[in-house]
Structures are given as C-alpha cells and as structure tokens.
Amino acid sequence: MSGSKKEKTCRLCKGDTYQLSVVGEFAHAQRCDCAVTCTNCQGTGMVVRTINGDRVASPCRCNSLQRRVQLFNEAHIPGKFMGSWIEDLEETHRSQKEIKYRLLKYRESYRHTEAGFLLWGEPGVAKTHLLCGLIGHLTLERGISCRFIEFMRLIMDLKHAYSKGQWDSEVIAPLLSTEVLVIDELGKGRNSDFELDILDQLISSRYNAQRTIHCTSNYNPENSGEGRQPVDFSGSIEKAIYGQATIGLRERVGDRIFSRLHEMCRFVQIQGTDYRTHRNRRSR
Ligand SMILES: [Zn+2]
Ligand SMILES: [Zn+2]
C-alpha cells in the first residue's frame, strides 16, 4: 500500500505482507504467505536501519502483523469499500483534494483522544470512502483499533438484539471500547426517541471517555431549519432528501448531540461529482 519497496517484493501483496478480500459483507485482511518467512527480516523479527550513519536495530513490522490484520477484520469496513485508500480517491473538487491532504497527515500523526472529522455533503462525494480508507490504514499500518458502523444498521442490530432478549450492551459495547469510531450516515432515519436515545448514549459515553469519533452526514450542520423548501423529486430519492437543504444536522440530531459533536469533530464540507457515477463511467 505504501512505503518503500524492497528488491524482492512479493507479487501477491506488493510487499504489504497482507492481502485483502471480501468475506461476507465486510472487507477482510489475511497474512500473506510471504510473511511466514518475512523477506524484510528473513524471519529474525528485527530489521537494521542506518539512521544518521548509525546502525539501529528495531522490531520488524511482521511482529505485529497478526494483530493488525485482526484489528482490520474487527473494524467491519463494508466489502464495497475494501481497498478504498485515501490516496486512491480521484478528486473532482478542490474540497476533496484538501481533505485528502489533511487525512493523509492525520493518519500518520493521529494520537489517542485526538478530535475526529465530520464530513458532510451530498451523497456520492466519497465521504465514506475517505473514512474507510482512514480506518483501514489506522488498523493495518498503525495497529489502532477502529470500528465502522452505519447508523441505521446499528438501530436494526439493536432492535434485533431486543427481539432475541439480548442486552443492548452486546451491540453497543464494541462501539464504546474501540479507540476510533466511524458513524456513517449520521442524521439518517426517522430520528425517533429510541434512535436519538441510542445516538446520545453512544456519543455521550465516547465524549466522557475522550474517544475519537468520525462521522459522515448528508445534512448541513450550518442550516437552522428555517424557511424549508419543497422537496425536489426530479432526481434520486437521496438527492431529494438532501434537496431539503434547509433541514440541518442540528435539527436532525438535536441540540445536545450536535454540540457534543461540535466539540469532538472538525466539520468539513465535501463537494464533487457523484463519485459512484464517476467511477462507473471510468470502469466502463
Ligand atoms: Zn506477500
Ligand atoms: Zn519481519
């Protein structure tokens, strides 16, 4: 994926030492065969580098590979975003170029308790791609635990758990304990009391524990909800919902959740050509 390549680079993984595939609905990583006898360290577990003329030995990254692969698999990145790396996004707008630059820096310098990003904008501008690319890198390259959840999926899982008589903590606990959480499609749904209650529980707990949250949303955080426009049904349903441009994120999630998010995330608007159409056109 990144970094300098050695001469004898594995053709299967290009030297990454892991391979990606889709298993069930999620992106899945596994250790490449080449990592069994690591070509970096010839199985010694240590690599020697020359820093300012001095030879310095440090643990080879193959040491922690199994753990990093496991973290990636526990992140529940949707299969369709397998291998959606930040650097691979073909930007169609300046805002995408800027956020790519910021996220590439962020993923290398990320420290515990650091603020996240709330990426907002129309459907199809690659908000989810960017955040999946971020947590793919944080797990596989930096060994940081991350978890992706689509908000409506969480609600469905909770309802399912209730119907089977399970505790909601079984569903919620991994979302609280993970170091970096990505909530996709924030503000979507009916926003019933039940849904907002779950969201409040999740965000408040992470806020108190000073744990990082990243979000995507189709709703504008700057809109107040006044002067609502009629819905335009000339395009897709997603576009029609977004077309209610005066419904803001604050109105969707309520003041309390909104102000917490404001403290925990940097709000960044993403614009661009609908990425899914753009990509389909390219692959034709
Ligand atoms: Zn390999
Ligand atoms: Zn090694």
Could you read off the pLDDT tens digit of each residue along the chain, which spans 284 residues?
Answer: 544 444 578 899 988 889 999 999 999 999 888 877 777 788 777 888 887 888 888 878 777 888 899 999 999 999 999 999 999 999 999 999 999 999 999 999 999 999 999 999 999 999 999 999 999 999 999 999 999 999 999 999 888 888 888 777 788 999 999 999 999 999 988 888 989 999 999 999 999 999 999 999 999 998 765 545 545 555 665 555 555 556 789 989 999 999 999 999 999 999 998 766 555 554 43
The contacts of residue 195 (CB under 8 Å, 6+ apart) are 155, 189
What's the CA-to-centroid distance between 261 and ligand 1, angstroms? 41
* Domain identity same for 82 and 56: no
What's the CA-to-centroid distance between 17 and ligand 2, angstroms? 9
Q: Which domain holds residue 153?
A: 75-283
* Contact status, residue 71 vs residue 21, Cβ threshold 8 Å: no
* Domain identity same for 104 and 30: no
Instruction: Please check whether residue 261 lies inside any domain of the structure.
Output: yes
* Domain identity same for 94 and 142: yes
Instruction: Please check whether residue 7 lies inside any domain of the structure.
Output: no
Instruction: Please check whether residue 56 lies inside any domain of the structure.
Output: yes
How many domains are contained in the chain?
Answer: 2
Element (H, E) at 215: strand 212-217
Regarding pTM above 0.85, the answer is no
* Domain identity same for 24 and 104: no
* Domain identity same for 137 and 205: yes
What's the CA-to-centroid distance between 131 and ligand 1, angstroms? 26
What's the CA-to-centroid distance between 23 and ligand 2, angstroms? 27
* Domain identity same for 40 and 107: no
* Domain identity same for 209 and 180: yes
- In 3D, which of 242, 254, 251 has the Cα closest to residue 120? 242
Counting ligands in written order, which one lies closest to the CA of residue 11? 1
What's the CA-to-centroid distance between 178 and ligand 1, angstroms? 28
- In 3D, which of 100, 165, 154 has the Cα closest to residue 129? 100
Instruction: Please check whether residue 12 lies inside any domain of the structure.
Output: no
* Domain identity same for 178 and 274: yes
Going from the C-alpha of 58 to that of each of 44, 144, 260, the distances in angstroms are 11, 20, 41
- In 3D, which of 121, 109, 143 has the Cα closest to residue 269? 121
What's the CA-to-centroid distance between 78 and ligand 2, angstroms? 29
* Domain identity same for 50 and 154: no
Pairing of strands 146-150, 116-120: unpaired
* Domain identity same for 230 and 108: yes
